[in-house]
């Protein structure tokens, strides 16, 4: 479960250094343009988010591969992240998405954006 989410617009306004990872690009209900959403991780400790730096790196790599439609490679990154932090809900989500998209390939014009049907 993510606790603090921020849009790309909020992240751009932050001053200082924060531990943040991009979660997704989504089109929310009532909008037409995708927006990046990020998870703020500063409140975590090693106990609440084990191996954070490594998981963030694997998550970034997995997200890049996911958007490139390289679902097997993305799946490996997210699975490895889950090995380091079994409670990482973002990696779990992407494991499920990668498995789904491998079985149900997206159309050729797919841009990696998730369209939300509810807020």
Q: Cα(first)–Cα(last) distance of the chain, in Å?
A: 16
Global pTM?
Answer: 0.87
Other Cβ atoms within 10 Å of 97 Cβ, number: 17
8 in Cβ contact with 35 (< 8 Å):
yes
pLDDT in tens, 4-53: 899 999 999 988 888 899 999 988 778 888 999 999 998 888 888 899 99
Instruction: Quickly list DSSP for 15-75.
Output: -S---EEEEEEEE-TT--S-EEEEEE-TT--TTTSTTHHHHHHHHHHHHHHHHTT-HHHHH
Q: How far is CA 74 from the centre of its chain?
A: 11
């Amino acid at each position: 479960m993510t606790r603090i989410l921020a849009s790309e617009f909020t992240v751009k306004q932050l001053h200082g250094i924060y531990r943040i990872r991009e979660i997704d690009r989504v089109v929310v209900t009532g909008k037409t343009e995708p927006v990046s959403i990020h998870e703020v991780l500063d409140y975590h400790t090693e106990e609440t988010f084990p191996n954070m730096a490594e998981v963030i790196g694997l998550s970034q790599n997995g997200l890049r591969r996911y958007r490139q439609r390289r679902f097997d490679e993305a799946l490996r990154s997210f699975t490895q992240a889950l090995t380091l932090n079994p409670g990482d809900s973002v990696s779990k989500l992407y494991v499920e998405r990668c498995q789904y998209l491998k079985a149900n390939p997206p159309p050729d014009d797919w841009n990696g954006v998730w369209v939300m049907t509810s807020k």
